[in-house]
Amino acid sequence: MKQQLEQIRSAAIAEIQAADTSLEEIRIKYLGKKGELTAILRGMGSLSAEERPVIGAVANEVRNCIESALEKRGAELKKIALANSLAAEKLDVTYDAIAPKAGHIHPITRAMERMTEIFIDMGFSVAEGPEVETVYNNFDALNAPADHPSRDFQDTFYITENTLLRTQTSPVQIRAMRNATPPIRIISPGRVYRSDVADASHSPMFHQLEGLVVDKGITMGDLKGILSQFAKTMFGPETKTRFRPHNFPFTEPSAEVDVSCFVCGGKGCRLCKGEGWMEILGSGMVHPEVLRAGGIDPDVYTGFAFGMGVERVAMVMSGIDDLRLMYENDARFLKQF
């Protein structure tokens, strides 16, 4: 029996030392209720009174020995598992990170910021006005009479009888004149709305940049000087400007302004559609009635004003020929700029 016990001990120890996962099975196999050691202890009843304490002592020693081997190996296995998981889950902080996908400034915003910057450098400050405007500021104060076609429901989004989504940034002129005494030198970039069906050159919402200068002795020469300088800074020093007579209710005289095509220099190309010139804005000397509506005496002061299409400038700068592309927000398109 003693020999049997010794065999159990060495077999158990060998198994325990070789185990690399759970030790529970081994424990049950030897020390469990139906285990090998337990079976031997049960058979002790058949031993003589002298043998029983001797074998009992050996059996106890074998049990202790197996238990401590289990404990020791258990601790080792825990350490190994920890080391393995530390190795497997290691974070290499020197590894190149995956760069987050950053967007960039929209071509319209970029054009607007650049235009604003150029006028700020020439001494203008930025004035703001609401997109929901009074009919009075948007039309009447700007000398657009009640029968002016742009006032039609077909062309303008009315909110109420007296308020609308502004159709132009020009009402900011009225607000600026009422808020300050000359000299006034402001620009006002922002959104405007017209009841147009979207196509390659129309959108129910677009952007304008308004400008207004009012002081004593302002002439058409100042208008031409400022706008020519703007065109050179914006499109390049070789850029020429062309002032074509036009008609706006709020200016007299009025002019539309073209810039020479910065791609072909005026010879005619795809970008300028063979014209050599590209129209970018409307302008003129502020009408005396408009000065009056702004609370300014037209016998003392004169001024000039202009309104540019921001989309037009952005499209010209980036060679984009369909306005709708600007608003579809397709990242594949926007990424190109």
Residues near ligand DAH (CB under 6 A): 168, 170, 210, 248, 251, 282-284, 305-307
Residue 288 phi/psi, 5° resolution? -55, -35
Please, what's the largest Cα pairwise distance for the chain?
A: 138
Q: Which is nearer to ligand DAH, 35 or 307 (CB)?
A: 307
Q: Closest distance between ligand DAH and the C-beta of residue 251, in Å? A: 4
Q: Closest distance between ligand DAH and the C-beta of residue 296, in Å? A: 15
Give the distance, in angstroms, between the CA of residue 310 and the centroid of all CA atoms in the same chain.
20
By C-alpha distance, which of 213, 313, 300, 325 is closest to 259?
313
Instruction: Label residue 48 exposed, middle or buried (CB < 10 Å: 0-12, 13-18, 19+).
Output: exposed
Q: Which is nearer to ligand DAH, 124 or 306 (CB)?
A: 306
Residue 333 phi/psi, 5° resolution? -75, -50
The CA distances from residue 182 to 26, 48, 120, 253, 298, in Å, are 99, 126, 17, 21, 12
320 neighbors 327 (Cβ within 8 angstroms): no
Q: Which is nearer to ligand DAH, 277 or 306 (CB)?
A: 306
Q: Which is nearer to ligand DAH, 165 or 305 (CB)?
A: 305
Q: Closest distance between ligand DAH and the C-beta of residue 119, in Å? A: 13
Residue 246 phi/psi, 5° resolution? -150, -170
Q: Closest distance between ligand DAH and the C-beta of residue 159, in Å? A: 19
Q: Closest distance between ligand DAH and the C-beta of residue 255, in Å? A: 8
Q: Closest distance between ligand DAH and the C-beta of residue 127, in Å? A: 13
Q: Distance between CA 58 and CA 38 in Å, rounded?
A: 13
Q: Which is nearer to ligand DAH, 239 or 283 (CB)?
A: 283
102 neighbors 130 (Cβ within 8 angstroms): no
Report the Cα–Cα distance between both ends of the chain, in Å, rounded.
Answer: 91
Residue of this chain nearest to ligand DAH (CB atom): 307
Q: Which is nearer to ligand DAH, 189 or 284 (CB)?
A: 284
Q: Which is nearer to ligand DAH, 8 or 141 (CB)?
A: 141
Q: Closest distance between ligand DAH and the C-beta of residue 309, in Å? A: 8
294 neighbors 186 (Cβ within 8 angstroms): no
